[in-house]
Structure 1
Amino acid sequence: MEKYAVVVAGGSGLRMGTSLPKQFLLLRDKPVLWYTLNAFLDAYPDLQIVLVLHEQHIERGQSILRSTYDPDRIWMTTGGETRFHSVRNGLAHIRRHSIVFVHDGVRCLLTPELIRRCYEGAVDKGNAIPATSAVDSIRLETLNGSVPVDRDKVKLIQTPQTFYSEIIKSAFEQDFHESFTDEASVVEKLGVKINLIEGESTNIKITRPLDLLIAEKVLEEREMGL
């Protein structure tokens, strides 16, 4: 089956405290986004990528694209006002029956194994959303104070969120709503049951300076085969 990844990389560097958006920051001498793109290229030889960037960063994106293992399998489009609109712009380039991955460009530590697991889960059940279990104690704030929550019932959601193309493209024909925090929430609005699969603890979102240090350590250990 055909495979497409919509990689959304239109964020700013506000929380990172840099003028350069975090997807372009260097990690072991390569941009964060470079690792993300190559993970998808490595996962399947026939997978194609739609890279969604802010229009002012298209030239920078082209430079990164050309440095990947297989730039001919990547093309770019511009983002929209919100993540929802950026994903919609990316999906507009997918016109054939396929499996579609939607991924945060700054989750650069995902592995080809996770991508394949998402693919297999989506083929089997229509969608596959990677998630990990909470390890900290959790409390929920209410009008009467905070109450404990059973952490075994709490899941931390990751990307790539993966769907049959017909499902996700139909979902993104809806009007934007503030409750849409990720692709699963958009699809779920249509009444589709969401299927969670096991994510990866290292599949972190690069948001703060500390995350870059963690990512460097993870890549170093992978290089050493640890």
Structure 2
Amino acid sequence: MTQQLPEYAIIVAGGSGTRMQHDLPKQFIEVAGKPILMHTIERFYKYNSAVRLIVVLPQEQLTSWRELCRKHSFKLFHMTVAGGTTRFGSVKNGLDAVMGDGLIAVHDGVRPFVDVETIKGAYEAAAKYGSAVVAVPPKDSIRELTGEGSRAVPRAKYKMVQTPQVFQASILRKAYEQSEQEYFTDDASVVESIGQPITLVEGSYRNIKITTPEDLILAEAFATTD
């Protein structure tokens, strides 16, 4: 019988409240009575209470987060790590806290409605193929910008990428040994750059990333139906 690899989750929460038009960093804004980031952590614990959680926050937000945990009596165990100046740097700092082999999910701190089934499917695919990136088909028509204007493209050939993105630890470590590049928009692009194929797994339209005031309205609606 194959021994199951330890499961880690690096939850990257480095956002500000600028686009949200809010004084608080977006991961600290309350939805259904508690900060968004707490909802996100709870999703991974619901999937697997033994998951080893690493929450990456800007250095200046670590004290605020500890105070919020006390205020909300939030006791789910997790490690906190100071982030870097970019998302690439923050994931790299989170990786430094992972010891030995395992499967590592990288997830946006402001995606609090990821389904347990989605998380499970991503870990299982990564264990088999080395990588697993959650994605959904686009709902809207897509146009590609060209030198002459734009042109329609078949949306069936495209996917909208979400998180979690899960990788075998050795693969993710190797990918993050390189220097940061402008075209690194997510972990899949970092891993793909070292020649590692990317496996897509089915996501969910409920797995929204909360970045604007309109997203908060949707988040409150989702929270009441969970």
The question of 1:151 aligning with 2:155 is answered yes
Q: Does structure 1 residue 181 correspond to structure 2 residue 185?
A: yes
2:136 match: 132
Verify: 1:70 aligned to 2:76, yes or no: yes
Distance in 2 (CA, whole Å) between partners of 1:196 and 1:20 is 34
1:92 alignment partner in structure 2? 96
The list of structure 1 runs, each at least 4 consecutive aligned residues, that deviate by more than 6 angstroms after superposition, is none
Residue aligned with 1:13, SS: coil
* C-alpha separation in 2, matches of 1:128 and 1:41: 19
Unaligned runs of at least 5 residues, structure 1: none
Instruction: Mark the CA change 1:80 to 1:109 in structure 2 (over 3 Å): closer, same or farther.
Output: same
Cα drift, residue 221 of structure 1: 1.6
Q: For residue 76 of structure 2, what is the amino acid of its counterpart?
A: D
Secondary structure class of the residue paired with 2:163: coil
Which of 19, 29, 37 matches 2:41?
37
1:107/1:205 contact within 8 Å kept: yes
Q: How much is the aligned-residue C-alpha RMSD, in angstroms?
A: 1.1
Contact 1:38 1:68 in 2 (8 A): no
Aligned residues: 220
Unaligned runs of 5+ in 2: none
Q: Does residue 1:167 correspond to 2:155, yes or no?
A: no
Matches of 1:171 and 1:208, distance apart in 2: 31
CA contact (8 A) 2:31 2:223 kept: no
Deviations 1:78-131 (A, max 9, x none): 010100000000000112110000000001111222111111111111110000
TM-score of the superposition, structure 2-length normalised?
A: 0.94
Distance apart, 1:157 and its partner CA: 0.1
Is structure 2 residue 214 aligned with structure 1 residue 210?
yes
CA 1:118/1:68 → structure 2, altered by over 3 Å: closer, same or farther? farther
Q: Give aligned-pair identity as a percent.
A: 42
Distance 2:8 2:48 in 1: 10
Match of 1:52 in 2: 56
Q: Aligned match of 1:12 in 16, 29, 34?
A: 16
2:107 and 2:66 mapped to 1: Cα distance? 19
Return the alpha-carbon distance in structure 2 between the equivalents of residues 111 and 219 of structure 1: 13
Shift of 1:45: 2.1
Could you report, residue by residue, the CA deviation over 1:180-222 in whole angstroms, capped at 9, with x for unpaired residues?
Answer: 0000000000000100000011000001111111011112122
Distance 1:117 1:69, change over 3 A: farther
Asked if the contact 1:41–1:69 (Cα under 8 Å) also holds between the matched residues in 2, the reply is: no
